[in-house]
Structure 1
Amino acid sequence: MYELNALARLLKYCNSPSCSLPEMNMKGKEGMFVSKLIDNGFDSDEGAALDLYNASPNDVRYKMLKHRVKKKFYNSLFLLNYQKLKLKPYVQSEQECYLLLHHANLFLKQSDFKLAEINVKKVIAIASEYQLINLEIAALEIILFCNSELGALKSYKSNKQKLDELLKKKVIDREAVSLFQLIKIQLNKSVKSRREYLPQLQNDVLHLESLWQQSKTFDAFNAYYKVYLWYYELIGDFSKIVELTVLSEDLVKNGDVSILRFDASFNKYVLVYAHLRSSKHKMGLYYAEKYVQDFNKNSFNWFAFFENYFLLALHSKEYNLAEVLLDQVFRNSYYNRITPVAKERWQLYQAYLFIIKGDDLLKHKATNPYLISLPEHSKDKQGSNVAILILQFYYFLQKKDIEALIYRIESLKKYIHTHLKDAFSLRSKLFLKLLVLTVTEDFNPDVCRKRGQKNYEKLLATPPPGDAYSEIEIVPYEHLWQSILTVLETKEV
C-alpha cells in the first residue's frame, strides 16, 4: 500500500494524468480506488479491500484492481511536470536527458539511426552543460552505435575520443563518490564513531582534493567540498571552512566549478555560519547583509540563515540590529509553519536579547522572556539545556529570589558533574561555576569579580569546540558574565 500511496501523491504533478487513469468521479471500482488514494490514501491493504469489496486483501478482485491501478500510475510518471515538483534546474535537465535517451532507444529498436542520433545529440548538449557524466557517456555509446551503422567514420573517431576521455574521468569520479558515501556512513553512526574516524578523515579530505584536481568533475568537487566541511566542523576549525566557502565562490565565478550544479545558497549559508563560529563577526555581518536578499522569506532556509545573522549581531554587541532582525522573524507570516523546535530556539534568542540588552520594551514583547515553562534539561546533554539553565538562573537573580538561587546552585553542580565532564564542555563548565560563585559569595560583585577572575581568564583562553559536540553560545559567556556583574552592582540581592 505504501507504493500506491506514494504514486498517488505524485499524480498532482502530472501534466495530464486523465489520459491513462480512470475518471475519479466514476462509480466503478477503479475510479473509487484512485479517488481515495489521491485524497487520503489507505493505511493498509486490509482497509482498502474491506472498503471496496468487503473482502480480505487476498480477494482476487482486489488483487487485479490493485495491479491495474498500479500499472496506470507508473505509466503516468512519464507525464510528470518537473517544474511543478520545484526541483532544481539541473535535476529537471537530468530528467529531460533520461526521456530523450528513452526516445533514442526506441528509435534504435526500429533501426531509425538518424532519429536516434538527433535525440542523443540533445542529451550530449544538456549533459555536457550540466556535467552529467553518466548521461553523456550513455549518449555517446548510442551515437557510436549509430555512427557505426551509418558508416560515419570521421564522426565515429571524434565521438570515440570524447567517450574515452569521459570514461577516464568517470573512473576517478566514481572513486570520489564512493569514498564520500563511505565517509557519510561512518560519520552518521554515532559521536563515538565520528571521533574514532577523525584521524582517517583528514587523509580522506586530502585524497578527495587530489581526485577532484585529476578529474575536474562536479561530482568529485562536491564530494571533496562536503567532506572538507564535515571534517573542519568536527574539529572546530571554522576558519578553514571560511576559506573553502570563499574559494568556492571564486571557483564558480571563474568557471572551474559548474554554476548550474553548485548550491550557491547553501554555500552562502555556510559562509555566514563559519564566520560566526570562527568569531569573525565583522566580516560575517558583511556577508549576512550582502546575501540576505538571496533567501526566500517564505522558506525554512530564510529562518535558518537569519539565525546566523541574528547570532552574529548578538556576538558583535550590535543589539539594536539584533532587535530589528528578531522583529523581522516574528513578523514573517511563514513563522507559523516552522517546526516547534525552531520556534523554541527563537524564543531562546528573544530571551537572551532581553537580558543582554536590558530593554523593558523588549521584555514586554516577549511572551516568555525567561522560558520558565520550558524543561530545565532532558535526559541527555543535547539541545539547549545549558542556555535554559542560565536563563532561569538570571530570572531568579533579577527577582532577588535567594531561596530559588540557593536551590539552583545544587542543580547546577549536579548538572556540571553529570553532563559536563568532557573537554568540549569546558566553556559551559567554567561559566556555570561562575554562576555558582555568585551565590556562594553572597552576591557581592567585588568578591565575585575577584574570586571568579581565574575561571574568567580560563574562559577567555578556551575557544568554542566543534559544533558536533557543543551547545552554541547564544551570547558569549564572557559577555554574560559582565552582564551578571552589572546586575549584582546595580541591584542589592
Structure 2
Amino acid sequence: MKDSRNLARIIINRRQGQVPLLDFEAGEKVKENRLVSALAEGKETTRNQLVRTLYDQPSAKNDNAFRQLHSRVFGKLLNHLYFLDHSDPRFSVSRRYQLECLDLLHKGLILYQEGASALSARVCASCMAKAMDDGFTAYAIEAAQQLRTIYAEMQEVKKFRAVVKDLERLQGLRRLEEQAEAIYAEARLARTGPVARLATLLATLKLHLEQVRQLHAEAQTPATADLYYRMQMIYLEQSGDYQGIIDLALEAEHQLARGQFNAHRFDVRFNLFMRMYAYLLTQQPEKGLEVASEAEKHFHPTAVNWMYFEEHRLLLALHAGQFDLARRVVQRAHLSPVFERQNKRAQQRWELFGAYLDFVRPSGKPSAARRRELGRLALMMPEYSRDKCGLNVAILIGQVLYFLREQDAEAVVLRVESLRKYRLRHLREPTNQRTRLFLRLLQLISDEQFDPVRCAERAGPFLQQLANTPPPGEAFAEVEIIPYPLLWGIILEHLRTSPPVLKLVPDATA
C-alpha cells in the first residue's frame, strides 16, 4: 500500500484547481461545448459566423470574448488527446502499443520528479519490457536511461549494471534502425520527385534494398523487419513487378500467421492495400475488388488513409467496368468527413475521376452548375499537371472526352492535335508505349472525321499492341483511370450514338 499512498498524496497535493478538460456531460448550455459542436459540424466556416452563433451578433466585446473562449477550448481539446480511444482495430495496430509505451514513460518521469523513485522504477521497467517486446527501441532506451539514473541514486548496484548492459545493446540496435530508416526515407522521397529523378531511381534502389537487408540481418528487430519488407515493396513497385508484390504480400500474411512477424507491428492494412494496388496494375480488377471488400473492415472511415483506399477502390471499379459501384464510391467519398482534409492535389484527382465517370456513365442530365464545373475542369490545367507524367496525360484525355460529350467537333479536333504534338514531344520513352498507342487511337477520331465504323476498322493493330504491352513500373507510370481498350470502346459507342457536329460559321464574304 506504500506506493498507493505515495501516489494518492502526489495527486492530492499537485492536482490542478480546475480540471483542464471539457465537461461534455454539461451539454450545449456551456459555451465551450457549443463551440466544439460548431467546429466539429463545420457549418460555420468563418470567425464572424462562429461569433454570431455563440453571441448572436458581432461586436468588439463579443469578438474579444470569442478569442478568449477559442483559446481556452483549443487548449482543452489538446488535453483530450491524452484520452483518445486507440483500441479500434481499423487503425494502425502499432499505434496503441506505441502510445502505451509513451504513456508509461511519461508516468515514470513524473513519478521520479515527484520523488517516488521506487514506483517510478517499476513503471519504467514495465515500459522498457513492453517497448522491447513490441520493437519500440527508442522508448526502451529512454526507459533504460531513466532506470539507470534511479538505480544509481538508490545504490542498486546489481540492477544498475544489468540496465547499463541492456542500454548499450539497445543503443547499438537503435543505430542500425536509424540507418535503415534513413535509407527508407530517401527511397520514399525519390519516388515523388520529377521524372528525371524517378528515371534514375531504379539504378540505386537495389543497392538501398541490399543495405536494409543487411541492417535487418544484424539487428533482427520488428522495426528493421518492417522496413525491409516495405523496401522490398518499393523495389517491386518501381520495377513494375506487380505479381511480385502480390506474392510478397501473401507470403507476409503466412509469415504473420507463423509468428515470424511481430503482430503488434505488422500493418495488415498496408498489406491488403498493396494487394489491391497490384491487382489493379496487373489488370485483375475483380480480384482487387474482392480484396477491397476484405480490406474495408480494416480501414476506419475517419483515418487519414481512408480516402486513398477509396481512391483505389474507385479505380478498381472503373477498370472492372462496374460504373454503378464507382458512382457509389464517388458519392460516399464526397460525404466523408475527411474529404476536405485531403491536400489540393488529392481533391483534384477526385474531380478528374468524377469527370471521367460522367462521360462513361452519366447520372442523368447534368445540372447547369455541373456542366459549368465540367467545363472549368476541361479548360483548366490543375497544378499537378505541369510534370510530364502521372495524371497529366489523363487530364489531356479528359478534355477530349468532355468535348466529345458536348458534341463540339472543332474543340475535339483541336485537343486531338494538341495531343499529337504532346505525344511527339514528351512521350518518347519505351515506358510510354501504352499512352502513345492510345493517343494514336484518339488521332483516328480526327483523321476519320468522327466516323465510328472507319475508326473501328483502323483501330485493330493499335488495340493488339495495347493488349501485348504491360503497364510500366510505377516510376514511369501514366494513370489509366479507365483501361485504354475499355475507354476506346466507350468512345466508339459515343460516336455511334452522339457524334460531334461542326458548328456552322457564317461566311463573312457572303
TM superposition score normalised by structure 2:
0.69
CA RMSD of superposed structures (Å): 4.0
Q: Do the aligned partners of residues 120 and 371 (structure 1) sit closer, same or farther apart at CA in structure 2, a change above 3 Å counting?
A: same
Q: 1:158-216 deviations in whole A, cap 9, x for unaligned?
A: 76775566456445434423433454565566543343242221132133234324433
User: Aligned residue for 1:344?
Assistant: 348
1:196 to 185, 200, 203: 200
User: Aligned residue for 1:447?
Assistant: 454
Say if 1:371 and 1:388, in contact at 8 Å, map to a contact too. Answer: no
Q: Indicate the larger mover: 289-298 or 382-391.
A: 382-391
1:132 to 106, 115, 136: 136
Say if 1:100 and 1:123, in contact at 8 Å, map to a contact too. Answer: no
Listed as ranges, the matches of 1:291-310 within 5 Å are: 291-310=295-314
CA shift at 1:440, angstroms?
A: 0.9
1:372 to 351, 371, 375: 375
Say if 1:103 and 1:119, in contact at 8 Å, map to a contact too. Answer: no
User: Aligned residue for 1:218?
Assistant: 222
Structure 1 residues not aligned, in runs of 5+: 1-14, 21-39, 41-75
Q: Distance in 2 between matches of 1:393 and 1:119?
A: 65
User: Aligned residue for 2:480?
Assistant: 473
User: Aligned residue for 1:244?
Assistant: 248
Say if 1:326 and 1:350, in contact at 8 Å, map to a contact too. Answer: yes
Q: Distance in 1 between matches of 2:372 and 2:353?
A: 10
Is 1:413 equivalent to 2:420 in the alignment? yes
* One-letter amino acid of the counterpart of residue 390, structure 1: I
Say if 1:242 and 1:271, in contact at 8 Å, map to a contact too. Answer: yes
* One-letter amino acid of the counterpart of residue 220, structure 2: K
Q: Do the aligned partners of residues 296 and 366 (structure 1) sit closer, same or farther apart at CA in structure 2, a change above 3 Å counting?
A: farther
Q: 1:270-317 deviations in whole A, cap 9, x for unaligned?
A: 332232223232221111111223333345432221111111111112
Is 1:286 equivalent to 2:285 in the alignment? no
2:103 to 67, 82, 96: 96
Q: 1:448-478 deviations in whole A, cap 9, x for unaligned?
A: 2232322222222222223343331110011
CA shift at 1:365, angstroms?
A: 11
Q: Distance in 2 between matches of 1:309 and 1:266?
A: 14
Q: Distance in 2 between matches of 1:417 and 1:383?
A: 17
CA shift at 1:430, angstroms?
A: 1.7
* One-letter amino acid of the counterpart of residue 424, structure 2: H
Q: Distance in 1 between matches of 2:330 and 2:192?
A: 33
Q: Distance in 2 between matches of 1:176 and 1:468?
A: 22
* One-letter amino acid of the counterpart of residue 224, structure 2: A
* Larger RCO of the pair (alpha carbons < 8 Å, separation 6+): 2
Q: Distance in 2 between matches of 1:390 and 1:270?
A: 27
User: Aligned residue for 1:401?
Assistant: 408
Q: Distance in 2 between matches of 1:193 and 1:340?
A: 23
Is 1:488 equivalent to 2:495 in the alignment? yes
Say if 2:194 and 2:387, in contact at 8 Å, map to a contact too. Answer: no
* One-letter amino acid of the counterpart of residue 494, structure 2: V
Structure 2 residues not aligned, in runs of 5+: 1-14, 21-46, 48-74, 87-94, 501-510
Q: Distance in 2 between matches of 1:189 and 1:206?
A: 22
Say if 1:137 and 1:167, in contact at 8 Å, map to a contact too. Answer: yes
Q: Distance in 1 between matches of 2:254 and 2:145?
A: 35
Q: Distance in 2 between matches of 1:445 and 1:271?
A: 38
Is 1:463 equivalent to 2:466 in the alignment? no
Listed as ranges, the matches of 1:221-232 within 5 Å are: 221-232=225-236
Q: Do the aligned partners of residues 301 and 146 (structure 1) sit closer, same or farther apart at CA in structure 2, a change above 3 Å counting?
A: closer
CA shift at 1:427, angstroms?
A: 1.9
Q: Distance in 1 between matches of 2:342 and 2:365?
A: 23
Q: Distance in 2 between matches of 1:152 and 1:338?
A: 53
Q: Indicate the larger mover: 476-485 or 148-157.
A: 148-157
Q: Distance in 1 between matches of 2:106 and 2:340?
A: 40
Q: Distance in 1 between matches of 2:498 and 2:201?
A: 51
Q: Distance in 1 between matches of 2:158 and 2:411?
A: 88
Q: Do the aligned partners of residues 99 and 370 (structure 1) sit closer, same or farther apart at CA in structure 2, a change above 3 Å counting?
A: closer
Q: Distance in 1 between matches of 2:85 and 2:494?
A: 52
Q: Distance in 2 between matches of 1:318 and 1:105?
A: 61
Q: Distance in 2 between matches of 1:463 and 1:17?
A: 68
Q: Indicate the larger mover: 80-89 or 383-392.
A: 80-89
Q: Distance in 2 between matches of 1:140 and 1:314?
A: 53
* One-letter amino acid of the counterpart of residue 332, structure 2: Q
Identity fraction in percent: 28
User: Aligned residue for 1:179?
Assistant: 183
CA shift at 1:346, angstroms?
A: 2.6
Say if 1:310 and 1:326, in contact at 8 Å, map to a contact too. Answer: yes
For the residue of structure 1 that corresponds to 2:301, the secondary structure is coil
Say if 1:144 and 1:160, in contact at 8 Å, map to a contact too. Answer: yes
1:389 to 391, 396, 400: 396
Say if 1:424 and 1:465, in contact at 8 Å, map to a contact too. Answer: yes
Q: Distance in 2 between matches of 1:299 and 1:116?
A: 35
Q: 1:99-127 deviations in whole A, cap 9, x for unaligned?
A: 255357658xx8x8745532432222332
Q: Do the aligned partners of residues 297 and 151 (structure 1) sit closer, same or farther apart at CA in structure 2, a change above 3 Å counting?
A: closer
TM superposition score normalised by structure 1:
0.71
